[in-house]
Amino acid sequence: MEEKKAFKIVITITPNSNFDEIQNVVKGKVGEFRYFFRVNGSHSQLKWLSNLPDFLLENLIFDFPYRKLRIGTFEGKRVKCGEVFYFSEKKKEGSVPVAGLSLLCKDVLRGSILVVDDGYLEFIIRDVFEDKLLVESLSEGFLEKGMGVWVKSIKVYGDIFDHELFQNVRKLGISRFMISYVDSSSFLDKIFNRKELFLIAKIEDTLGYENLNEIMENFDAICVARGDLGANMEFPDWIEASFDVVKRSKLAGKSVFLAGETFVSSIYRDGKISRSEISDFYNFLNSGIDGVILSDETVFGKNIDGLLNSIKKLVTLWKAKR
């Protein structure tokens, strides 16, 4: 009988991660680590990556910033509904910096909806300039560094693939890359010697879902990124699409990972998982996922060990019932 592949739990690490603690916690539980690269501060991030312990660097999945803009470094901002301010290319007093925003300004129109952090906050664009957008908030919340920024009416941003960054990361020996907002495989000729790489496509919008067959032909694995997928598609379409991506990926012989705040309540419950999250996870285990990618759960969570133990227990119990 063919041996089944071990279920993979991927945790996200940051420069604030305690690597001694992680090494003790993840032993025998986690095989891979994800690092989400911020568009801004590339030099300091590369220096940090080069100093990672070998056990992390050898098992790192580099989440490459492609076609998804991020809020840059600033002190944070609480936003009220109806508040008017600027998103700008560079850090300016009274504005929120977004690295690469000028690429978006080329195509965006007044009246478009700008979305932050998987739909956590929405803004209507009141005016467009060469390197900044005047927006009015449609909701209340907190803006902070690293949150994703995109516009609903624009499916494809300008090309922000950074060749120099890619080559510098390759020099560190990293060969596994997760690519954001993949909507086709046409850009892959820009990645040199890609036969040496393991590429994971994140399906995060309608176009990526519509082009899934082509994407699967050219990528090694698929990630169902439900946060952005849910913000880009209507309910319940994004839920049905999530399961469909898993089904079709398995039929194509591709490994498929689940992502998108799967166990987010564990951050506030000392690593414990809610019953609704267990139910959700169970349904995806039945659909055939090969692994789960943890993000905020391991970036902000205080009991990573407890969370990992709970996930492994759930997977073990699920396998015993098969």
**pLDDT tens digits in sequence order for the chain, 322 residues long:** 344 678 999 998 888 787 777 777 776 666 678 887 655 556 678 888 888 888 888 889 998 766 667 787 778 889 999 999 999 988 888 899 987 788 778 778 888 888 887 677 899 999 999 999 999 999 999 998 878 787 765 644 445 566 777 888 889 989 999 988 788 777 776 666 677 899 999 998 888 899 999 999 989 999 999 988 887 788 899 999 999 999 999 999 999 999 988 998 888 888 889 999 999 999 999 999 999 999 888 888 888 888 998 999 999 999 998 7
What are the residue ranges spanned by the domains of the chain? 8-66+161-320, 70-151
* Residues pairing with 176 in the sheet: 198
Q: What local confidence, expressed as pLDDT, does residue 123 receive?
A: 94
Residue 158's pLDDT is: 45
Fold of the domain built from segment(s) 8-66+161-320 = TIM Barrel (3.20.20)
Instruction: Classify burial at 88, counting beta carbons within 10 Å of its beta carbon; exposed 0-12, middle 13-18, buried 19 or more.
Output: buried
DSSP assignment of 106-124 equals TT--TTPEEEETTTTEEEE
User: Under CATH, what is the fold of the domain 70-151?
Assistant: M1 Pyruvate Kinase; Domain 3 (2.40.33)
Confirm whether 8-66+161-320 and 70-151 share one CATH topology: no
Tokens 């300016």, residue? 92
**CA atoms within a 13 Å half-sphere pointing along the CA-CB vector of 190:** 13
Single pTM value for the model: 0.81
Cα–Cα distance list, 91 to 28, 83, 109, 165, 294 (Å): 43, 19, 22, 22, 30
What pLDDT sits at residue 269? 86
Can you tell me the distance from the alpha carbon of 142 to that of 120, in angstroms, rounded to the nearest whole number? 9
Q: How much is the pLDDT for 68?
A: 65
Dihedrals φ, ψ of 40, to 5°? -90, 155
Residue 156: per-residue pLDDT: 43
